[in-house]
Chain A
Amino acid sequence: QKEVEQDPGPLSVPEGAIVSLNCTYSNSAFQYFMWYRQYSRKGPELLMYTYSSGNKEDGRFTAQVDKSSKYISLFIRDSQPSDSATYLCAIRKNQGGKLIFGQGTELSVKP
């Protein structure tokens, strides 16, 4: 079993839609949860970072961690065509430890 699972999509939504992206993980020892965004032919860039359970909001983006279910989510409100990218979840056990990435979900927001 992979340590983190993510549906690769692709996911296509109309502009203005609410987008929900999800990952599940297998080991309850993971404490640090991140979302990276990767535009085509570019390197990933950190979008959201959460420690332990709970929600974190940044503008149109909300990251949610449910440690009891081993489930992490990224919500995008009022999605824009510029949000079209691949979104990768990433998890780690310890600060400074190895990052483990999900497969990435390809998102397309149509005008």
Chain B
Amino acid sequence: DAGVIQSPRHEVTEMGQEVTLRCKPISGHNSLFWYRQTMMRGLELLIYFNNNVPIDDSGMPEDRFSAKMPNASFSTLKIQPSEPRDSAVYFCASSLAGVDTQYFGPGTRLTVL
């Protein structure tokens, strides 16, 4: 069974460029989470969706970040324009709503030069 799929696995871009990260949750899961992990701040929740609807986006750092979930099998996290301080590993996770086990993807390692 495929787990959570994220692409790309690595992204190197220059400051000011648009970055789009993609996630395919586990089939049948109806909650999807975007996290960011850095050495300084650890693992932080950016936004989560239930049934494709954003529920809590209080962790989105600023307007440069946006996330969408157009259907149950796909989500994107976009950063525009990107800045060096956005460099981090971005994880997507999915779960069944109301169930505590979240399944994480392998992450996208983003470097903004």
Across the interface, B98 reaches (CB within 8 A) one of A45, A95, A98, A104, namely A95
Look across to chain B and name the residue whose beta carbon is closest to the beta carbon of A44.
B104
CB contacts under 8 Å to B, within A58-111, are 88, 92, 95-96, 98-104
Q: Is A10's beta carbon under 8 Å from chain B?
A: no
Least Cβ distance of A64 to chain B in Å?
A: 18
Residues of A near B33 (CB, < 8 A) are 99
Give the total of A residues in contact with B, Cβ under 8 Å. 20
Q: Is the CB of B102 within 8 A of A99?
A: yes
Give the total of B residues in contact with A, Cβ under 8 Å. 22
Q: Is the CB of B42 within 8 A of A43?
A: no
Q: Is B91's beta carbon under 8 Å from chain A?
A: yes
Q: Is the CB of B42 within 8 A of A98?
A: no
Look across to chain B and name the residue whose beta carbon is closest to the beta carbon of A104.
B42
Q: Is A18's beta carbon under 8 Å from chain B?
A: no
Q: How far is the CA of A88 from the CA of B44 in the complex (A)?
A: 12
B1-41 vs A, CB cutoff 8 Å, 1 = contact: the mask equals: 00010000000000000000000000000010100000000
Chain B: residues with CB nearer than 8 A to chain A?
A: 4, 31, 33, 42-45, 48, 56, 91, 93, 97-107
Chain A: residues with CB nearer than 8 A to chain B?
A: 32, 34, 41-46, 49, 88, 92, 95-96, 98-104
